[in-house]
Each structure stands twice: as C-alpha cells, then as structure tokens.
Structure 1
C-alpha cells in the first residue's frame, strides 16, 4: 500500500511537473507570438501613419505652392493692367497739359507784353513824377513870385489910392479957394488910369494864380489815375504769373508721373515675359476665381491705343 501510494504520488508529481513545463513552454511561445504579431501590427500602423503624414505634408506644400504661384501671377497681371491704365490716363492728362501749355505760351506772350507795358508805365510814371515835381517846384516859385508881385502891386494900388485921395482933397481945397474959372488938371485922370491899370493887372494875376491851381489839381488827378492803372496792371501781371507757374508745375509733375509709369510698365512686361511658362500652367487650373485672358486683351487694346498717341506726340 505504501509503495502504491508513493508510486501514485511520484506519478502525480511527475505528471504535474511535465504539465507545468509544457504549460510554461506553451505560455512562452504564445507570449512570443503575440509580441511579434503586435510588433508587426504596430510597425505597419506606424508606417501607415508616417506615409499618411508625409502625403498630407506634400499635398499641403503643393497646394500652397500652386495657390501662391497663382496669386503672384494674378497680382502681376493686375499690376500690369493698373500700370497700363494709369499710363493711359497719364498720357491723356499729358495731352491735355500740352494743349494747356500752348495756352500757357499765349499767356507767356501776354505776360511779356504786360512786363514791357509795366516797365514802360513805371518809367513813364517815374518820369512824370520827376516832371511833376519839377513843375510843382517851378509853379511854387512862380506862385511865390506872383504873390510877391501881387502884394507889391496891392501896396502900390493902396499908395496910389492914398495919393489920389490926398490930391483930390488938395484939388478940392484949391478949387474952393481958387477963382471960378480954373483949368482942368490932368493929374486926377492920370492917377485914375494908373489905378485902373494896376487893378486890371491884379485881376489878371489872380486869374493866372487860379489857373495854376486848377492845373495842379488836374495834374494830381492824372497822377492818381496813372497810379491806379499801374496797380491794376501789376495785379493782372501777378495773377498771370501765378497761373503760369501752376501750369508749369502741373506739367512737370505729370511728365515725371508718365516717365515712372512707363518704367514700371517695362519692368512688369519683362516679368510677364519671364513667367510666361507658368501662365500656361495656370490656364489648366480648374478652380481659379479669376480670368487672366481679358486682361491680356485689354493690354493689347491699350497698346493699340498708345501707338496713335505716340504718333500724335
């Protein structure tokens, strides 16, 4: 019984040991297989994600490059169209300014005439001022002399009147004292004629003085009128000069603007010629919200319009 129990126990332990060893071997093989499968699946997943990320990055870069190239081409086309349009407007304005410059030439001729007229009037005004000053001085001296002469004549008239009065008194007394028949004395007649001649001379001097005063007033009025006309001519001359300067400044600015526009247009045309292969590639772009072909047509029309303008200029 003991031997059977020991044999059973030994068999049981051996079987348990063998079963445990086979279980451990099977467990290790299963874990190794699961680890390999999971590593393979993880590598596949990582490779797929890496390829997906690279594809997304490539697609994003390509779309960015495509959209940026399309945007730059459209920007160049718009700038070309804007420069051509501004050049057209500048040429039109330059043509108008050339017409205005012709009018400016007429204004310049009028300005030169006005300058000559102003110089002539200034010279005449200075000459008239000098002549009037000399004339006024001569008239003042002559008037002073006439006043002195008038004063002397008035004194002589007064003396003649007093002498005539005294002689009349003496004659009256002599007549009263003399006999009835007395010869007429010609003294009174001579004194009366002398007084009358002196009075007429005084009146003549007064009339001459009045005439000189009127001539002085007339000369003053003419001088004031000449100064007024001179001021009006100076104002007209200044207005014409300002207008000519404004027109010249405007013409110069527009010529500079037209020159800048032409240089920009040449640069943009060179850039458009340089990027012409990309323009062909953009023609196949299906989702573009813009159209470049009308701009090229408008540029051709603008170039056709510029040719007769160059022939006119």
Structure 2
C-alpha cells in the first residue's frame, strides 16, 4: 500500500520499521518539529524523524495542521491508500482524516475504550490494571473514539513498569498494524461502557504523598518513571525515587521506619525506597544516601 506514517516518539519507531520491511510504500513521514534538547539546547529531531532519515524516507514536520489548508491539500495530493498514526502529537482535521482511501489508522496503546487519551500506558500501571494491550482503530474527529479494526491484550505482571509495557506494546502495535493493512477487517464501534480517559501527564503527577496507601505509591513510582519521575521534597530538596517496593510497617504517614533502605510509613503499609537521586547528583542506593544525608525522623509530611 501507499502510506503516510505519522508519529514522533520511540514508541512509534518499530511500526515505521515494520511497514518499510513489509514492502509498503511510505510516501511521507510526518512527525513533530525538532525541539531544543540537552545542555546545549540544540534543535534535535524526534526519534521517528531520525529513523525516517536513516531509511531515506521524506519527512514533513509541520508545527500545526488543524487549520492549515495548504497542509490539507499537500496531504491529499499524496494519493494515499491509508495513513498510519502512532503517537503523532497533533490533532488531525477532517480533511486529512478523509483523504486516504482507507482512512487514518491509529495504533493506540490501550484496550479501547479504556484509557482514551495521551497517557494510556502510565494510566494502566497507575490504576493497577491486570491487562493492557493495543487497539488498531480508524480515526474520527473524536478523542480516540473511532471504530476498532483489531484489538489484542497482554497480561500485566505484578511489578510491571512503564518502560516494560511501553516496549511490549510498541512491538505489538507494529505487528498488529501489518495485520490490519493486510486483512482490512471490518471496523466495529467501541463499546459505550467502560470509557476512561488518560490525561496528559504533568510534573505534579509524579509527586508522592505519604498519606496515600503504600500500594498506590508503589504503582506511581513504576508508572511515572522515566517521566515525569516519582519524587518527594524534604528540607527544601527534591528527591527522585527511581525504585521502590511495598514493605511491612505501621506508623504515622511520613514517618521513617527502621529497616534497610529508606522505609516510609504510608496511610496503610509502608514504602521502601531502594534507589534515589538528589537534584543534580548521581543516582544511588537508599542505604548509601542515608549515610551521607540525615533525613531525621520523618519526611516533610505532618507526622
């Protein structure tokens, strides 16, 4: 098929590679424009941009497409059989959605209609879902509301992390989009029940509140790494929590309990912090950090 591919982050790269390897003609790759990154704030292309250049594919990086008639016409002029969309980052208007012969097919990292929106992977872990998966859907003007072509589930292990699930669903999506293009199965509407939304993450989503249950905080640590990162503040410093686990213990929320690592009492249970990072410093085990930093009897929570 003659395709356009529309995606930006690492999650999208395996699908683009799979399409090219399968012999599909990728007429254009659309992705987010280069952004300043790193200490030097150099203009840096996104992972899909870099991957497309390595494969010799033409790349387009419009800053916006929703009301740009020239972009709509350029997209229509590609005379596409379909467009494959995977975490592109821009909302496609109706003229672009309707331009390809088979429409725009989205690789969405959840079992729709659960976790429509921007952060389905993190939301599945944060809320303790027992399974996740990928849905291939034909896009409409709604927020992940289009009819479904294919849907495949994966069981989540008890200690699943965002990086693990991200990679698993990225590979699953690459496999499923090939199957969808090959078979073009009949699209079926999404169920009206079970709709949930995964809002775009902000830095505040990583904050740990010791007044929550330990199990919930453990899920937050696993869900929010690598970004925005789980963290707490203490004595004016920010400590990023890279690894933690639930532990036995009872005490007022925020109290530091005896034991290895840095074990903190929560609303119910306790959370043992295993690996942390102070701002501007290297990550280290909690035991090593405690030898060089006096946390006192409790963290910055009334206790």
State TM-score, norm by structure 1.
Answer: 0.16
Bigger CA radius of gyration: 1
> Which structure has the higher relative contact order (CA within 8 Å, separation 6+)?
1
Instruction: Say which structure is richer in helix.
Output: 1
